[in-house]
Amino acid sequence: ITDSVMAEQLALSWTQVCRILQEELFQGNAFHQSDTHIVIMMGASGELAKRKIYPTIWWLFRDGLLPENTFTVGYACSRLTVADIRKQSEPFLKATAEEELKLEDFFTRNSYVAGQTVTKNIHESCMSQAGWNRIIVEKPFGRDLRSSERLSNHISSLFHEDQIYCIDHYLGKEMVQNLMVLRFANRIFDSIRNWDHIACVILTFKEPHGTEGHGGYFDEFGIIRDVMQSHLLQMLCLVAMEKPASTNSDDVHDEKVRVLKCISGVQANNVVLGQYVGNPEREGKATKGYQDDPRLPHGSTTATFAAAVLYMENERWDGVPFILRCSKALNERKAEVRLQFRDVASNIFRQQCRRNELVIRVQPHEAVYIKMMTKKLGMFFNPEESELDLTYGNTYKNERLLLDVFCRSQMYFLCSDELREAWRIFTPLLHRMEQQKPQPIPYMYGS
């Protein structure tokens, strides 16, 4: 039960649901309710902190899912106060008037420190000697294989692997987690999921907005690092990996790494790059192109759209193209995985059959459906396409990754080997792009 709508369907109040979860967490000894826990948040003045992290910690606190004595220390270069932090994040906290007192209580447990270096200082001055310490790291994990290795070596010289949680927030999404269950708990899917049956696998990420507000960061990284090498590659691993020996984090990581090792570096001739331009027929932000942002270097060739084809050299997937597509400033918000099956053999329906597809829609409106041909109703004997639909009516909350850290579960976090392999696949392409600066194809905002 992950949200209030589902709770309502089950005739439980959200308070009752939270109580059940609290029992699971506290009495199941996932962590000790009476211990003091301190969350130190680096980059506390930034976009991610105000939009996602403060709201997440607040929701967990509001619903009683954190140990009672949990305190948050914000840390960043900017000289701010807790009041500034509260002001920035308040629009995203979605607190109701009745929750006002609780929100006050939440912010009395917050403090803020301004400063420069971080992991080294934590290691030297902030480590709890009596309890546990866990470090959550958010991307970018470097810019290429070398810088990522440097970062990994630095972090692992200070902390043990079991203290390090490299987060990819896509792994916290309900449908991404569902990929493993769909695949390994359903014989029908597992037996047909190989090159014999599958024509291609398409992984898509689309956003309707541009890089407004974080163009500076984006221009240094580009869409391949920002989304393809991270979120889409993680989803690909879950679609393509073999069944792990168990759902234990180490076993899952082993299989993900094995699959990544079978992927050779992306070939430049298998990549299409694009950059959005303003649409004069629209209003507001959509009239501005990527390059209209005054903070960007003149004539930037950073891609805001990328499509790439990856191949896996292993028995199951030999020759099957995995098509990864990601873009800013398109017509809609969508993330999905689409397995397209091969055409039916000896088509007796005179070419009227379309390919079957298994679609896992990650967002919005989570859904799993199969596109298949059935007989057209009535006198006809013609096939028509219909959908076997397992639509999930609800949207789910994404606080689970932070709770996983409290509960010491690393399954939905990246291990250092995964990071290394992910960078190995993309680094030659990224270096080539940096040297040759290929001109991305312009596309219209909202197209």
Closest-by-Cβ residue to ligand BG6 is 226
What is d(CA 113, CA 119) in angstroms, rounded to the nearest whole number?
A: 15
DSSP annotation of 441: E
Asked if 207 touches ligand BG6 (CB under 6 A), the answer is yes
Tokens of 312: 């896996």
Site string for ligand BG6, 220-239 (x = CB under 6 A): ------x-------------
**CB neighbourhood size of 333 (10 A):** 12
Note whether 372 and 356 are within 8 A (CB). Answer: yes
Residue 86: CB minimum distance to ligand BG6, A: 23
3-state secondary structure of 314: coil
Residue 236: CB minimum distance to ligand BG6, A: 16
Residue 156: CB minimum distance to ligand BG6, A: 23
**CB neighbourhood size of 250 (10 A):** 12
* Cβ distance to ligand BG6 smaller for residue 207 or 255: 207
Residue 27: CB minimum distance to ligand BG6, A: 32
* Cβ distance to ligand BG6 smaller for residue 37 or 169: 169
What is d(CA 35, CA 132) in angstroms, rounded to the nearest whole number?
A: 11
Contacts with ligand BG6 by CB under 6 A: the residue count is: 3
Can the peptide bond before residue 91 be classed as cis, meaning omega within 30 degrees of 0? no
In the region spanning residues 94 to 123, those forming contacts with ligand BG6, defined by CB under 6 A, are: none
Q: Please enumerate in sequence order all residues whose Cβ is within 8 A of that of 98, keeping only pairs 6 or more positions apart, or say none.
A: none
* 40 phi, psi to nearest 5 deg: -105, 120
Residue 209: CB minimum distance to ligand BG6, A: 8
Asked if 336 touches ligand BG6 (CB under 6 A), the answer is no
* Cβ distance to ligand BG6 smaller for residue 123 or 209: 209
Site string for ligand BG6, 274-313 (x = CB under 6 A): ----------------------------------------
CA 134 centroid distance within chain: 20
Q: Which helix (H) or strand (E) holds 433?
A: helix 416-436
Site string for ligand BG6, 153-172 (x = CB under 6 A): ----------------x---
In the region spanning residues 38 to 77, those forming contacts with ligand BG6, defined by CB under 6 A, are: none
Select which of 154, 209, 214, 231 is catalytic: 231
Provide the β-strand partners of residue 101: none
State the helix-helix crossing angle for 54-62 and 82-93, rounded to 10 degrees. 70
Residue 168: CB minimum distance to ligand BG6, A: 8
* Cβ distance to ligand BG6 smaller for residue 207 or 219: 207
Tokens of 222: 């580009």
Active-site annotation holds for 231: yes
* Cβ distance to ligand BG6 smaller for residue 47 or 313: 47
Q: Which helix (H) or strand (E) holds 191?
A: helix 187-192
Residues designated catalytic: 231
| Interface ranges with ligand BG6 (CB under 6 A) | 169, 207, 226
